[in-house]
Amino acid sequence: ELKVEQNPLFLSMQEGKNYTIYCNYSTTSDRLYWYRQDPGKSLESLFVLLSNGAVKQEGRLMASLDTKARLSTLHITAAVHDLSATYFCAVVGGSNYKLTFGKGTLLTVNP
Amino acid sequence: DAGVIQSPRHEVTEMGQEVTLRCKPISGHNSLFWYRQTMMRGLELLIYFNNNVPIDDSGMPEDRFSAKMPNASFSTLKIQPSEPRDSAVYFCASTPGAGASGANVLTFGAGSRLTVL
């Protein structure tokens, strides 16, 4: 059974600081997704990483994928309050439809 | 495009009552998913449809839960009878093509927040 672990689960940051969220998964996969969820809202797709070494950047967020290490990172640069949300990674397992989500990382950016 | 549309947004009901949640996927999307989100268990896949056919319902908790997709533009998730432990946010999501294959991204609806008293 595919397991997806994120850490940290809770992250409190100051504005302007950098930090990284980690996503480890237990079985081979070459597709990983990052989603953002604001409180009481739906999940919004941020990145799709489709191959080993893939790197995607949007604004202050950069995601990367190392399929050999079964690890993805979401790096936050110079955080701002608007980035406060819960971030989920999700991995496609053996079946191409089954997206298994991590528990999420609740990010709070403080002024 | 209006995105994935779910109704109701909020439902409060009493234990034992029947609950029906509805979903309209994005037009042209062939795959539809129902997920449940709780604090304790996170996001869990309940059932996956492809071309209106249920492909995997192994995540449906028990016989009290059922899901249908009578056509490409409508799906329902029914709980009968409902119990307090069913309280959760239920999300519907859709993708073009087959599941999460290739670069398909699941687009989620706004969710239905269910409270069973």
| A23-62 pLDDT, tens digit each | 999 988 878 999 999 999 999 999 999 888 899 999 999 9
- Mean pLDDT of chain B, nearest integer: 93
CB contacts, 8 Å: A41 with chain B = 110
Mean pLDDT over residues B27-52, rounded? 94
- Which of B6, B49, B106 to mutate to test binding with chain A, by most A CBs within 10 Å of its CB? B106
**Beta-carbon contacts of residue A94 (< 8 Å; ≥ 6 apart):** A2, A27
DSSP string for B57-70: -TT--STTEEEEEE
* Interface contact flag, A96 B98, Cβ < 8 Å: yes
In angstroms, the separation between the Cα of residue B104 and the nearest Cα of chain A is 9
Backbone angles phi, psi at A95, to 5 degrees: -85, 135
DSSP string for A53-99: T-EEEETTEEEEEETTTTEEEEEE-S--GGG-EEEEEEEE-SSTT-E
**Beta-carbon contacts of residue B96 (< 8 Å; ≥ 6 apart):** B26, B28, B29, B30, B31, B104
**Residue A51: per-residue pLDDT:** 84
Q: Given pLDDT bands bounded at 50, 70 and 90, which one contains residue B104?
A: confident
CB contacts, 8 Å: B43 with chain A = 88, 90, 101
CA dihedral B4, B5, B8, B9 (to 10 degrees): 60
Quick one: how far is CA B110 from the chain centroid?
11
In angstroms, the separation between the Cα of residue B101 and the nearest Cα of chain A is 5
Backbone angles phi, psi at B33, to 5 degrees: -125, 145
Q: Which residues does A contribute to its contact with B (CB < 8 Å)?
A: 31, 33, 41-45, 48, 50, 88, 90, 92, 95-104
In angstroms, the separation between the Cα of residue B112 and the nearest Cα of chain A is 10
The pLDDT of residue B109 is above 90? yes
- Which has the higher per-residue pLDDT, A53 or A15? A15
CA dihedral A100, B30, B93, B10 (to 10 degrees): -140
Q: How many CB atoms lie within 10 A of CB A88?
A: 25
